[in-house]
Amino acid sequence: MSGAAAPATTPGSAPPRAGRVPARTRGGTAHIYGWLLLLPAAVLLGAFTHFPAVATFVESFYSTAKGGRPARAVGLDNYRTMLEDPIFWKSLENNALYALGTIPASIALALLMALWVNGKIRGRGLLRLAYFTPTVLPMIAVANIWLFFYTPDYGLVDQITKLFGAGAHNWLGTRGTALVCLMFVTIWKEAGFFMIFYLAALQQIPPVLAEAAAIEGSGRWYFFRRVTFPLLMPTTLFVLVNAIINAFRMVDHVVVMTRGGPDNATMLLLFYIYEVAFKFWDTAYGATLTMVLLLILAGLALGQFLYFDRRVHYR
Amino acid sequence: MNLSLKRMLGLAMIAGGLSAGAAQAQTTLQFYFPVAVGGPITKIVDGMVADFEKAHPAIKVKSIYAGSYSDTLTKVLTAIKGGDVPQVSVILSTDMYTLIDEDAIVPIESLLKTDDDKKWLAGFYPGFMENSRTGGKTWGVPFQRSTIVMYWNKDAFKEAGLDPEKPPQTWAELVSMGQKLTKRDDKGNVTQWGIQIPSSGFPYWLFQALTTQNDVRLMNEAGTKTNYDDPKVVEALQFWVDLSRKLKIHPPGIVDWGTTPKDFFERKVAIMWTTTGNLTNVRANAKFPFGVAMMPANKRRGSPTGGGNFYVFKKSTPEQQAASLVFMKWMTSPEQAAKWGIATGYVAVSPAAFETEAMKAYVKDFPPAAVARDQLQYAWAELSTHENQRVTKALNDGLQAALTGAKTPAAAMKDAQAEAERILKPYR
């Protein structure tokens, strides 16, 4: 055996080398193929995501160029200004409240709706469609509809509360209610979207589990708590990541409904960035604020994946 | 044969050269314009531009609707940074300092060639020129200019036992009439407010009516200093706050600018303050007899001017700048200004426009059209400084804080002034 194999492994003998060379070439071209396939995505990501992020980071250490005056390096000045900027802190606080107010509520509502339309009820298709409609509508259109709902006196909300004897209320024009009103729009808009994911996940759960649980005599709540909900955890994580990103990313309705007012009561971080960069034309300070937003989002995403990933049950 | 062929070729070349010359002689202008009031404004503007092109075949104008005033400024400034700049645009008169600081525009004097040109620039109402000049130069040409006026519902006045032809002339009358005009149901809920002064978006402009009536200017002429914490300013704000919080004849909280005309049409409010630019809109939609009057006086009568000016941008060829002048002269000529004013409600920008037959007939048929013009003599420049958006936001935030009860008027104005000082210091 070894004698027979020996000639084949002798250095310099032709056949094995001939066999090895194509293998190496194949490996080489596969490498190139791989990179070529990645190239379009990599170029797009690099040009429109990573390069701008780095450029923004660099710009945050410069002053804003104005007319004849070019930008000059100012070190940490922009960051110092930011720490002393009460509107920045207000927008952070608002954003935190906004996230806390919208994320758990929209996820809970999504789950509830998904459980309901997953059951065998009449008109299920229509109901699913109805729940999903808010997601399909463009945010600007939605915001304009809600603007009418909130109009004092003859808006829909006031017309309903009037039936119960309440007077006109200026929902968007009062500091205490404006942000809450925006939260409602967001929950209404997001819940249907998240429902779709839950619905898909629910349909993946094998019915035998329910049958087995029924035989064991477990109640519906117990079954949900011990079987359904844990099996939905990957979806919940996905939805949570999306919800948090959206809480910092959606400001269309702020533009339409309140423009950050009254007195910054609905000022969210991203809207403030827009104002600073494209209304005040202080692009350097806008870049500084953007860095904060990037950090927050990166931190949240990282934390979620590192922490929750270990606790989520994947099948 | 050979010779004639050559000659023919030569002729063809000359002809070709000529037609190329003719094509070059047509100058193309990009013209951005905003829309800030109701009505078919884009159609009116496009119609005027088409008429202009008919009268001046050598100039082609691409009119581009650019959104609200702030959208238009954003688009123009972005275009300047990106390179594809319009040659002429209508932008708020108050953005003059911003455009100068961005080194974006040319002074209008640099375009003037003939005596006729100079006469044209001198022909506008001086009230409108206050916001168009700084440092001895003119930077903007008045076009869609307005002031605030008071609209009142004559039916509501009658129902309240007031003379429907006599709107309030003073702040005191505004309060006493407002109290009669505010109606409550048996539960105490208000069904009709006496007076409404919108406070969303740009409350500073409406507020400036109150400060002007209280005889105090909000900024200096160089646009480098504000007087937000002047006692008279605080007094004016106290009056506005009192209307809703103490007297309860004005809706509470922040009142939306956009829905204010609708509130008026729906009889939710008997008197509203809004731009004269809404005149045609109100005339078309109010289902009751209404009146238009100058706003009431306190120490004096007054309103800020408002609205947009033409600006000519630096990044354009000399031919384009010359064509821009021709375009602006045509758009602000008495006939066109009259036509524009009649179609929209904006104040025609020159006394000559009010002397045209069309305008005379219109004013005779619809006297409210002249109210804004008559109020012009009391009008002051709209709040405008360097870093305008930011300095204005400081005031807006303060006003909204006071109107929603978060701060006292004095505290709100003190904070606003401190913020404005911080922003404006580098410009002195």
Structure tokens of B162? 């007031």
Which of left, alpha, beta for A174 (phi over 0: left; psi -120 to 50: alpha)?
A: beta
Q: Quick one: B368 and B285 in the same domain? A: no
pLDDT tens, position by position, B76-113: 988 887 778 899 999 999 899 989 988 889 999 999 98
Give, in order, the Cα–Cα distances in Å from B385 to each of A120, A195, B93, B203, B224: 65, 50, 11, 16, 6
CA distance A50 to chain B (A): 21
* B419 lies in the same domain as B297: yes
Quote the pLDDT of residue A13. 43
What's the predicted TM-score (pTM) here? 0.79
Of the listed ranges A45-54, A156-165, B10-19, B287-296, the one predicted with least confidence: B10-19
Inter-residue contact B350 to B332 (CB < 8 Å): yes
Q: Tokens in use for B161?
A: 């036992």
Say how far apart CA B127 and CA B140 lie, in whole Å: 13
Answer yes or no: is pLDDT of B316 > 50: yes
The structure tokens 């002729």 sit at B11
Q: Which amino acid is at A99?
A: A
Quote the pLDDT of residue B67: 86
Residues B337-369 have pLDDT tens digits of 999 988 888 888 999 999 999 999 999 988 888
Q: Which domain CATH number covers B92?
A: 3.40.190.10
Distance from the Cα of residue B35 to its chain's centroid = 10
Given B334, B350, B373, the domain boundary residue is B373
Give the one of B254, B268, B401 whose C-beta lies nearest to A153's C-beta. B268
Q: What confidence score (pLDDT) does residue B25 get? A: 66
Q: Inform me whether the C-beta atom of residue B71 falls under 8 Å from chain A C-beta atoms.
A: no
- Quote the minimal CA–CA distance from A225 to chain B in Å: 45
Q: What band does B4 get if pLDDT is binned at 50, 70 and 90?
A: low
Same structural domain for residues B258 and B400? Answer: yes
Indicate the length of chain B as a whole number. Answer: 428
**Could you report how far apart the first and last alpha carbons of chain A are, in Å?**
47
Provide CB contacts within 8 A for B348, sequence distance 6+: B334, B337, B338, B340, B341, B354, B359, B373
Domain's final residue, options B373, B391, B419: B373
Interface touch A167/B189, C-beta < 8 Å: yes
User: d(Cα B160, Cα B177) in Å, to the nearest integer?
Assistant: 9
Contacts of A174 in chain B (CB under 8 A): 252-254, 404
Give the domain range for residue B188: 147-305+381-427
Q: How far apart are CA B269 and CA B260, in angstroms?
A: 9
Burial track B15-46 (b if 16+ CB lie within 10 A, e otherwise): eeeeeeeeeeeebebbbbbbbbbbbebeeebe
What pLDDT sits at residue A251? 86
pLDDT at A67: 65
pLDDT at site A223: 86
Q: Which pLDDT value is given to residue B273?
A: 95
Identify the residue among A280, A282, A283, A285 best suited for mutation to test binding to B, counting B beta carbons within 10 A and taking the highest. A280
**DSSP letter, residue B95:** G
Q: Verify that B151 and B140 share a domain, yes or no.
A: no
- Running DSSP on this structure, what letter comes out for residue A279? T
B48: nearest Cα among B59, B63, B29 = B63
Bridge partners (DSSP) of residue B184 are B190
Divide the 315 residues of chain A into consecutive groups of 10 and give the mean pLDDT of each group: 41 46 60 89 91 90 77 85 90 93 93 86 82 86 88 84 79 87 91 90 86 84 86 87 87 87 88 89 90 90 76 61
Mark whether B286 and B335 lie in a shared domain: no
- For residues B130 and B197, state if they share a domain: no
pLDDT for position B201: 81
Whole-number Å distance between alpha carbons of A304 and A312? 11
A118-177 pLDDT, tens digit per residue, is 877 788 888 888 888 888 888 888 888 888 898 887 888 888 888 887 777 888 888 888
| Residue B55 shares a structural domain with residue B94 | yes
Query: The tokens of A234 are what?
Result: 């990957």
Average pLDDT over residues B141-147: 91
CA pseudo-torsion sign A106, A112, A115, A119: negative
Q: Cβ neighbours of residue A41 under 8 Å, at least 6 residues apart?
A: none
Distance (Å) of CA A221 to CA A204, A226, B333 = 19, 8, 78
- What average pLDDT score do residues B321-326 get? 93
Burial A12-31 (b: 16+ CB within 10 A, else e): eeeeeeeeeeeeeeeeeeee
The pLDDT of residue A314 is: 60
Domain shared by B182 and B247, yes or no = yes
More confident residue, B4 or B326: B326
Give yes or no for a cis peptide into A262 (omega within 30° of 0). yes
Whether residues B41 and B140 share a domain: the answer is yes
Whether residue B310 sits in one domain with residue B183: no
**Interface probe, candidates B204, B256, B269, B391, chain A, greatest A C-beta count within 10 A:** B256
Whether B18 shows a pLDDT value over 70: the answer reads no
pLDDT of residue A18: 45
Which among B248, B146, B271 is positioned nearest to B197, based on CA atoms? Answer: B271
Q: B13 pLDDT band (50/70/90 cuts)?
A: very low
Shared domain for B130 and B115, answered yes or no, is yes
**Total count of residues recorded for chain A:** 315
Rounded to a whole number, what is the distance in Å from the CA of B197 to chain A's nearest CA?
13
Mark yes or no for CB contact A262/B404 under 8 Å. yes
CB nearest A67 (choices: B70, B101, B397) = B101
Q: What pLDDT is stored for residue A187 in this prediction? A: 92
**In the numeric block, which tokens belong to residue B193?**
């407010």
Q: Which residue of B has its CA nearest to A260?
A: B201
User: Nearest 5°: phi and psi at A291?
Assistant: -60, -40
> Could you tell me whether strands B379-380 and B303-312 are parallel, antiparallel, or unpaired per DSSP bridges?
parallel
Tell me which residue of B319, B314, B271, B237 sits closest to B150, measured CA to CA.
B271
Question: Which residues of chain B make contact with A67, given a CB cutoff of 8 A?
Answer: 100-104
- Per-residue confidence (pLDDT) for residue B7, from 0 to 100: 56
Torsion of CA B277, B192, B297, B217, to 10 degrees: -60
Contact of B387 with chain A, judged by CB distance below 8 Å, is answered with yes
Residues B268 and B179 placed together within one structural domain of the fold: yes
How many structural domains is chain B composed of? 2
Q: In angstroms, how far is CA B201 from the centroid of its own chain?
A: 14
